[in-house]
Structure 1
Amino acid sequence: MFKRILFPTDFSEPSMKVLDYIPVLREAGAREVVLVHVIDEKDVTMIASGGQGFLGTIPDRETEAQRELREEIQHRVIDTRRALEKQGMAVTVRTPVGSPGKEVVAAADEEGASLVVLGSHGRSNLRDRLLGTVSEYVIKNARQPVLVIKRDMIRGQ
């Protein structure tokens, strides 16, 4: 029923809890995972400006910050892809730049996902919110079923 899963992540601990549920989803028939990491356009703007303050920007630092971000994302994508492949899943990777919620919904449609599986919270992990803003956006706007993994869920309980 859910052969192609869309797994959006910002690589935070709450968003990575999805990995614990992949074996169960595989048993239920899932065979492919589309791993999506959206590079938030707000982060790109901040990095491109070099975190511009009253002293202005230093071009060498901008380039270094952008390179470090790209390398960090590449390493995390590779590690997550390997973890999914070890669990027997075929993996496609997407790293769009834009608004995270909108890009996740667009990727689900473009990739023909049959299910979106995401953590209830991402990097901000605000304790006083029931859901993270990206999760909430995806739930309200995705055409596919959405499985939300709660941040405090511990498998087996």
Structure 2
Amino acid sequence: MYKHLVVAVDGSATSLNALQHACSLAEMSNAKITLVHVANPSEYMAMAPEFMHHASYEEAAVAQGNEVLDFAEKAVQEAGLSDVVKHLLVANKGARDMAQELVDYADEQGAELLVLGTHGRSGLMHLLMGSFAETVMRQSHLPLLVIRSQKDEDE
């Protein structure tokens, strides 16, 4: 069974659902969980400057990423697991760069399974927004557990 799971978290309900699945797997196999958030400062550039409470876009992305990781860590601890590590990655380009950062980090850490959630977009939304999970799948040689959002999470 798996001894080291890397779980991508982004603060969404879908991400939390994937984390819960990862916790169940980790509990069954006594595995270590590494929580990873990939911060993307360019996502903050669309915000109006008056909403920025940080000196830079990267600072805002890192601050929010750390909040996501802290919340996820608490969820893992509440599930009764103690072997958990948090790691924040910063990717400045786009979804492909973010996915590659995640895959490279999981490889470097010797992960045996990569876990992430997906919103399961299709049609026009998939064309416009792409699929982070699909991009990870294309770039990773690791086993990948992708948890789709529940129906009410899509609405």
TM class, shorter-length = 0.7 to 0.9
TM-score w.r.t. length of structure 1:
0.73
Max Rg structure: 1
Indicate if the aligned counterparts of 1:39 and 1:97 stay in contact, CA closer than 8 A.
Answer: yes
Scaled by the length of structure 2, the TM-score of the pair is 0.74
Structure 2 unaligned blocks of 5 or more: 92-96
Greater fraction of residues in helix: 2
Q: Residue by residue, what CA displacement relative to the aligned partner does 1:75-105 show, whole Å, maximum 9, x if unpaired? A: 2211211211232141111111112211111
What letter is aligned with 2:22?
I
**Partner residue of 1:54?**
none
RMSD over aligned CA atoms reads 3.2
Hey, what does 1:141 align to over in structure 2? Answer: 139
- Matched-pair contact (CA < 8 Å) for 1:31–1:89: no
The answer as to whether partners of 1:4 and 1:33 remain within 8 angstroms in 2 is: yes
What's the offset of the Cα at 1:70? Answer: 3.8
User: Structure 1: which 4+ aligned runs deviate by more than 6 Å?
Assistant: none
Matching residue of 2:67: 75
- Answering whether residue 29 of structure 2 is matched by residue 24 of structure 1, we say no
8 Å contact 2:14–2:149 — kept in the other structure?
Answer: yes
2:96 counterpart of 1:103: no
| Residue-pair matches, total | 142
User: CA offsets per residue over residues 29-54 of structure 1, 9 Å max, x none?
Assistant: 1421111100125236x27xx75xxx
- The structure-2 alpha-carbon separation of the partners of 1:93 and 1:23, relative to structure 1 and needing over 3 Å to count, comes to closer
* Distance in 1 of aligned mates of 2:67 and 2:54: 20
